[in-house]
């Protein structure tokens, strides 16, 4: 078997024997299990010996905890990807795991639904974080257990490593969607909209024509923010009065073409960047859910990965992510012209 044909090699580390057996049984048909160990020290030793493609770590382990093990592993073997499989639903742990070099964070209570999907995502070069992993407070604070919200089925948060990756991805999706007579609503900053417009024109899209028939509705965040905000607070009435007709018009235009409505943008993230209180960003995501459900739209939001590590924005990001049906990464995505909403590379 040559390298291209061999199974990806994975090392498992957890101090619960039953969980190791369960995880190994789930992965065995698709991965080669090179070792299953019960502490962080042995995990480092076996990783150096076996050189696996992936190391699956718990956070709380004897000898060396998972966070310390991940840091040391990435220092020694940068090419080996680290994924956490843990019971810790705490924003500080998520932040520390990503800062230590992990590409995935999977909750043990979601192992059946997320483990294979998450490892496939990481193997494809992306981040994966279990939905519901964010609870909106750190381990230094008291909070109620996380309750799974009632989401819109088509509201996705995509993480990216830099803004350019996000804008390029948005441009690609807009191009392919308009070429298929889908309706695209876009919320970006003025400079970003200009860039996307140029990309659309370079791809042969008649931007003016698409705007004329209602297939393309670009909005600058700077232009609408002042209208939506009143004394630094989101005016919910103004938001719905403005956007409900926009979504309704887009849905009717899409029905005429027997297509669908795709919404792209980073409005909540921009509100945080503008210095508005984080509650405004939470409200926006809730209102997006209402509109998506009412008009059968699919909404794709974007956010920088570094917000996961920045403690001053972690609670805001946690609350924002809870409003989404999926939490995925779109940077360096596979050669495809669609943002995923179903299938193997995300968690439903």
Q: What is the 3-state secondary structure (H, E, C) of 32-92?
A: EEEEEECCHHHHHHHHHHHCCCEEEECCCCCCCCHHHHHHHHHHHCCCCEEEEEECCCCHH
Q: Would you kindly state where each structural domain of the chain is located, as residue ranges?
A: 9-129, 155-329
Q: Greatest CA span in the chain, whole angstroms?
A: 66
Express each pLDDT in 311-322 by its tens digit: 555 565 666 665
120 vs 325, residue with greater confidence: 120
pLDDT of 295 strictly over 50: yes
Residue 205 has pLDDT above 70, yes or no: yes
Contact 76, 68 (CB under 8 A): no
Digit-coded pLDDT (tens) for 79-115 = 899 999 998 877 678 878 888 889 888 989 888 888 8
Nearest to 246 by CA among 184, 194, 300, 302: 184
| Sign of the alpha-carbon dihedral angle for 188, 294, 282, 223 | positive
Question: What distance in Å separates the CA atoms of residue 120 and residue 345, rounded to the nearest whole number?
Answer: 7
Q: Where are the alpha helices (DSSP H) in 229-335?
A: 236-256, 267-273, 278-295, 311-321
Architecture of the domain spanning 155-329: 3-Layer(aba) Sandwich (3.40)
Written as six digits, the tokens of 20 are 């190791």
Torsion of CA 17, 20, 26, 30, to 10 degrees: -140
Whole-model pTM: value is: 0.56
Average pLDDT over residues 286-297: 83
Domains 9-129 and 155-329 share a fold: yes
Neighbours of 255 (CB within 10 A): 13
The SS3 of residue 306 is helix
Q: How many C-beta atoms lie closer than 10 Å to residue 309's C-beta?
A: 16
Pick the CATH number of 9-129 from 1.20.1260.10, 3.30.300.210, 1.10.490.10, 3.40.50.2300: 3.40.50.2300
What is the H or E stretch that residue 219 is in? Answer: strand 216-220
> How far apart, in Å, do the first and last CA atoms of the chain sit?
34
Residues 6+ apart with CB under 8 A from 71: 100, 101
């Amino acid at each position: 078997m040559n390298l291209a044909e061999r199974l990806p090699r994975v090392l498992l580390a957890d101090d619960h024997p039953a969980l190791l057996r369960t995880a190994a049984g789930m992965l065995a048909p698709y991965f080669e299990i090179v070792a299953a160990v019960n502490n962080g020290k042995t995990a480092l030793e076996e990783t150096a010996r076996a050189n696996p493609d992936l190391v699956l770590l718990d956070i709380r382990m004897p000898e060396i905890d998972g966070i310390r093990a991940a840091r040391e592993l990435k220092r020694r073997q940068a090419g080996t990807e680290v994924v956490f499989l843990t019971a810790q639903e705490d924003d500080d742990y998520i932040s520390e795991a990503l800062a230590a070099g992990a590409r995935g964070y999977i909750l043990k209570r979601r192992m059946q639904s997320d483990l294979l999907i998450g490892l496939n995502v990481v193997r494809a070069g992306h981040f994966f974080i279990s939905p519901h992993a964010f609870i909106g407070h750190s381990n230094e604070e008291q909070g109620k257990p996380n309750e799974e919200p009632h989401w819109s089925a088509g509201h996705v948060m995509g993480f990216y490593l830099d803004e350019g990756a996000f804008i390029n991805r948005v441009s690609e999706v807009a191009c392919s969607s308009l070429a298929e007579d889908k309706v695209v609503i876009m919320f970006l900053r003025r400079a970003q909209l200009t860039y996307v417009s140029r990309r659309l024109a370079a791809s042969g899209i008649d931007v003016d024509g698409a705007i004329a028939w209602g297939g393309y509705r670009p909005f600058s965040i700077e232009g609408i923010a002042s209208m939506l905000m009143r004394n630094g607070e989101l005016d919910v009435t103004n938001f719905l009065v403005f956007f409900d007709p926009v979504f309704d018009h887009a849905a009717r235009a899409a029905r005429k073409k027997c297509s669908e409505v795709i919404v792209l943008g980073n409005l909540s993230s921009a509100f945080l960047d503008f210095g508005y209180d984080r509650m405004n960003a939470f409200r926006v995501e809730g209102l997006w859910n209402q509109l998506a459900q009412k008009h059968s739209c699919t909404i794709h939001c974007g956010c920088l990965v570094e917000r996961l590590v920045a403690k001053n924005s972690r609670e805001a990001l946690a609350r924002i992510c809870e409003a989404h049906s999926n939490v995925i990464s779109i940077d360096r995505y596979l050669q495809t012209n669609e943002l995923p909403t179903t299938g193997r590379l995300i968690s439903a």
